[in-house]
Amino acid sequence: MDIILASILTLGSMGIIFGIILAIASQKLAVKADPKIDEIVKILPGLNCGGCGHPSCQAYAEAIMKGEAISLCKPGGKKTLDHLTEITGETAQSSEPMVATRYCNGGCNEAKEKYEYTGVKTCKVAALLNSGYKQCTYSCLGFGDCAKVCPTDAITMNDDMLPIIDKEKCIGCEKCVIECPKNILLMAPKKKRVHVRCTSLNPGKTVVKVCSVGCIACNKCERECPFDAIHVKDNIAIIDYDKCTNCQKCVKVCPRKIITVDQVQESQQQVHT
């Protein structure tokens, strides 16, 4: 019996003493913050994505208190903007939601290789060697640097080694756009679902030799579009998203099936580009 009492007293009193020490320490060493900053941090999405240009939501909140624009948080969307307007009393323009979009369909099965690449498996390094291991110098290299850097896991690499972007998960931080060494990821309005999956400026003769889904600048799409939304310039078709209405006439007429529509999977309510 004695030993039970002794153990409890010893360990218990240590618990009391150290508990008090820790309680006092966490108070004294607590970081004092402007309550307004804490309010702002609570409103911000808390993703720490860096899309606003600041390293964390905390940092952006502090910057806002110092006069930074309140419209920089894209993931926060309108809701965040409205709240921030309330708190800071500033006004700002709301912007149309933009998501990352892939402008290349030249995966393993479509775009031919120049050589067998056995180097470091990142796009950045692969791109250093002769513009990459694909015969088309504009092609996606498929090692998923974009997927690795996405803070919300919106990008997954498919079996063909192309990035698939989940539009619902994309928060528009543009990290993947910056990361891609071949510049095949660009921002496009989320509402627009028709995209030309190619960025190659090579003439049609060259393109057919190196890739089965490259744009040959045949102009059929430009002739077909009723809204003057798509034009071929410098051997590549480009969609003007301000004019595009998602009518998909160009999609039907493209001989190489390069213009595609984002698929909507009803079962999961995800939109993939």
Partner 1 sequence: MVSHWQEFWKGITKLNPVFVAALGLCPVLATTTSMDNAIGMGVAATFVLVCSSIFVSLLRKMIPDNVRIPVFIVIIATFVTIAQLFMKAYSPALDKSLGIFVPLIVVNCIILGRAESFFSKNNIVRSMLDALGAGLGFTLAILLISGIRELLGTGELIIFGIKILAIPITPAVIFILAPGALLTMGLLLALFNALGVKTAKKTSCSTIASGVKE
Partner 2 sequence: MSKTKSTIVLTLVCIITAALLAGTYMLTKDKIASQSENALTESLKEIIPDADKFIEETSGDTSYFIAIKDNIEAGYATTGEAQGYGGIIKTLVGVDLEGNILGVRILEQSETPGLGDKAKNPGFYNQFNNQKKNSIRLSKEGGSIDAITGATITSRAVIASVNDALATLSDAVGIQQVGEQ
Stretch touching partner 1 by CB under 8 A, among 43-51, 104-112, 176-184, 233-241: 104-112
CA 126 to chain centre: 21
CA dist 254 and 237 (Å) reads: 11
Q: Which does 10 bind (CB under 5 to 8 A by kind): partner 1, partner 2, none?
A: partner 2
**Residue number with CB closer to partner 1 (110 or 145):** 110
Contacts with partner 2, residue ranges (CB under 8 A) = 3-4, 6-8, 10-12, 14-16, 18-20, 22-24, 26-27
Which residues lie below 8 Å from residue 123, measured CB to CB, with a gap of 6+? 140, 141, 142, 143, 144, 145, 146, 179, 180, 181, 182
152 binds partner 1 (CB under 8 A): no
Query: Could you tell me which of 132, 63, 66 has the C-alpha nearest to residue 104?
Result: 132
Q: Which of residues 190-219 bind partner 1 (CB under 8 A)?
A: 212
Q: Which of residues 24-43 bind partner 1 (CB under 8 A)?
A: 25-26
Closest distance of CB 130 from partner 2, Å: 56
Query: Could you tell me which of 103, 271, 272 has the C-alpha nearest to residue 196?
Result: 103
**Residue number with CB closer to partner 1 (85 or 135):** 135
**Residue number with CB closer to partner 1 (110 or 174):** 110
**Residue number with CB closer to partner 1 (145 or 174):** 145
Site string for partner 1, 164-193 (x = CB under 8 A): ------------------------------
Look at strands 236-239 and 270-272 and give their pairing.
unpaired
Q: Are 53 and 72 in contact (CB under 8 A)?
A: yes
Q: Residue-wise over 24-54: b if at least 16 C-beta within 10 A, else e? A: eeeeeeeeeeeeeeeebbebbbebebbbbeb
Residues at the contact surface with partner 1, assessed by CB under 8 A: 11, 15, 18-19, 22-23, 25-26, 107-113, 116-118, 121, 133-134, 142, 159, 161, 212
